[in-house]
Amino acid sequence: MSQKPSRFRVSTRTTSLMVLSAAILAACGGGGDTAVSEPVAVAPAPAPAPGPAPAPTPEPPPAAGTVRASFTATDQEFPNPERGFYRWAWSNLEALSAADAQDAYQQGYRLVYAPLNLSAYRGADLPASLLTQLEAAFGRARSAGIKLVVRAVYNYPENETDYRNAQDAPLARVLGHIAQLKPVLQRHGDVIAVMQAGFIGAWGEWHTSSNQLTTVGNRTQVRDALLDAVPPSRFIQVRYPPYVMDWTPTLPAQSVALSGGYRVGVHNDCFLASTTDVGTYSDNSTQRTAQRDYVDRLGQLAPFGGETCDPADEASPTPRTACADILAEGARYKLTYLNAEYHRTLFHDRWERDGCMAEVKRKMGYRLQLVAAAHADAVGRGESLALSLTVRNTGWARVFNPRGLQVVLRDTAGTTHRLDASGADPRAWLPGAEQAVALQVTVPPGLAAGSYTVWMAWPDADARLVSDARYAIRPANADSTTTGQRWDATLGAFSTGTSVIVR
């Protein structure tokens, strides 16, 4: 019980004064009575009864604590969607088989180059049977967990010099074919990683056209038709930088590309092959420098990829085959993908021999790495949970197609709840940079109270693939039994090793 306030205390000194006053009054007669009275002892006045003790002030609820985690990087190479070495399909796109697509996935390829052979239709509309075949082929790619690099061609010369007599189709026919393909491309854009422009010239590489399709007006019409035909979330790639420079002399800000306002990149099919990359760039050194600088900057906006080649059609070529060449130019041009099968003798075999192939495989495309995470240790149902995340992109390129970002809560029984996060766009995470992002998720009001482990997931943004773990990005982090951090291939998510209490 608490001590009484001082105003209720009666001191010994006060009691003595009261007795003395009474004695003096008695000696002086006290009233009109002349009798002398005996002194009377006066008892001290009783102290007032104390009132009820004040109610204790309630303790404020404890402030939510912060849970923090740091992560360890790994040099392990593993496949991830829409990046890395690709291999060719065993057949043309229209005949892509389930066995072909499944083999590619099992061999670690997440990209397959699939040419669409239109050589039989230079003078005719595409038959309904071909469109039906394409529908089935895209479905097989989706079932296998791969994506396609697509290019439509009217010819495919056998070697590097047998192209001068290659035939393409008149402009009206090309535009008609693109219009026929549009519904199929729109329906299956989820498994199209990128659409190479194709259609024009030998190999669809926009040179040596037999129908003058490389004039400014004609090639611009083909570009516009392709941009209209593929889904608005997908890029097209053109073979020659000067064409792209003519269309867009000044490149826009990255935000324009993220919003779908810019969607044209370059594919270099003689990457590293000679001083000009066999005609990819100008013979004029000043123009060539400007073109290379442009492609360098373009890599911040659009995917860059292609293949190496045999420079047999160029006098005294100087191919750049050393590890230093691929490591420097892969980084400079933001290389996202490369043909694994051509031209191996000059390039790939040397990279293997000189010891840099493992690094090339790791660096190609994006490589996202969790650095740190922090969030509250408790959150109420129906409330917002903030999560601070630091991510580093150690790859050569950025994520270029839309990508989801989720916080996954897993209860003690193993049931998972995927919460879409706002506050960041993985496509904005540039190579060589570290990003600090503030994410927000809303905890469902009906979620059961209890403890949940926290996982991060970067699924494909398309509704058909968002729940398919094969299309989720695996971060470049090591598993740890000590911290509980690990990749779950079935879940398509990485455990942060932290937990949150849902109240």
Residue type at 238? V
Kindly report the three-state secondary structure assignment for every residue of 106-146: HCCCCEEEEEEECHHHCCCCCCHHHHHHHHHHHHHHHHHCC
Q: pLDDT (tens digit, 9 = 90+) per residue, 117-126?
A: 999 999 999 9
Greatest distance between any 2 Cα atoms in the chain: 154
User: Among residues 143, 152, 134, 139, which one has the least CA distance to residue 94?
Assistant: 134
8 A C-beta contact, residue 155 and residue 202: yes
Distance (Å, whole) CA 263 – CA 269: 19
438 Cβ contact partners less than 8 Å away, ≥ 6 residues apart: 386, 387, 388, 389, 423, 424
Parallel, antiparallel, or unpaired for β 406-410 and 416-420?
Answer: antiparallel
Q: Encode 374-409: b = buried (16+ Cβ within 10 Å), e = exposed.
A: bbbebbeeeeebebebbbbbbbbbbbbbbbbbbbbb
Which pLDDT score is estimated for 345?
96
> Of the ranges 19-33, 306-320, 451-465, which one carries the lowest mean pLDDT score?
19-33
How far apart are the C-alpha atoms of 350 and 277, rounded to whole Å?
18
Burial, 367: exposed, middle or buried (Cβ in 10 Å; 0-12, 13-18, 19+)? buried
Please state, in angstroms and rounded to a whole number, the distance separating the CA atoms of residues 311 and 433.
35
Look up the CATH architecture of domain 66-75+368-502.
Answer: Sandwich (2.60)
Q: Note the pLDDT tens digit of each residue in 368-419.
A: 999 999 999 999 999 999 999 999 999 999 999 999 999 999 999 999 999 9
Angle between helices 128-144 and 171-187 (to 10 degrees): 40
pLDDT tens digits along 32-64:
333 333 344 444 444 444 545 555 555 444 456
Q: What is the pLDDT of residues 469-488, one digit of tens each?
A: 999 999 999 999 999 999 99
pLDDT at 449 over 90: yes
Predicted pLDDT of residue 159: 77
Once rounded to an integer, what is the mean pLDDT over residues 492-496? 98
Cβ partners under 8 Å of residue 380, min gap 6: 443, 502, 503
What pTM value is reported for the model? 0.86
Task: For residue range 240-253, list pLDDT tens digits in order.
Answer: 999 999 999 999 99
For residue range 208-240, what is the model confidence (pLDDT) as tens digits?
A: 999 999 999 999 999 999 999 999 999 999 999
Type of residue at 204:
G
Summarised one tens digit per residue, pLDDT across range 173-222 is 999 999 999 999 999 999 999 999 999 999 999 999 999 999 999 999 99
DSSP character for 456? E
Neighbour count for residue 482 (Cβ, 10 Å): 6
Which stretches does DSSP call E strand in 204-324? 236-238, 264-268, 304-306
Give me the mean pLDDT over the 271-283 stretch.
98
> Of 318, 283, 298, 363, nearest to 83 (Cα)?
363
Cα separation of 440 and 387, whole Å? 6
Tell me the C-alpha distance between 106 and 104, whole Å: 6
The CA distance from 265 to 243, in Å, is: 11
Of the chain, the percentage scoring pLDDT greater than 90 comes to 85
pLDDT band at 161 (very low <50, low <70, confident <90, very high): confident
How far, in Å, CA of 417 to CA of 72, rounded? 25
Domain boundaries, the chain: 11-50, 66-75+368-502, 84-363
Architecture of the domain whose range is 84-363: Alpha-Beta Barrel (3.20)
pLDDT value at residue 64: 62
Omega of the bond leading into 177 within 30 degrees of 0 (cis)? no
What's the rounded Cα separation, in Å, for the pair 462 and 191? Answer: 9
Per-chain mean pLDDT for the chain: 90
Q: d(Cα 215, Cα 198) in Å, to the nearest integer?
A: 15
Q: Cα 466 vs. chain centroid, distance in angstroms?
A: 13
pLDDT of residue 164: 84
Question: How far is residue 139's CA from residue 150's CA, in Å, rounded to a whole number?
Answer: 14
Segment holding 150, helix H or strand E? strand 147-153
Residue 500 structure tokens: 């949150």
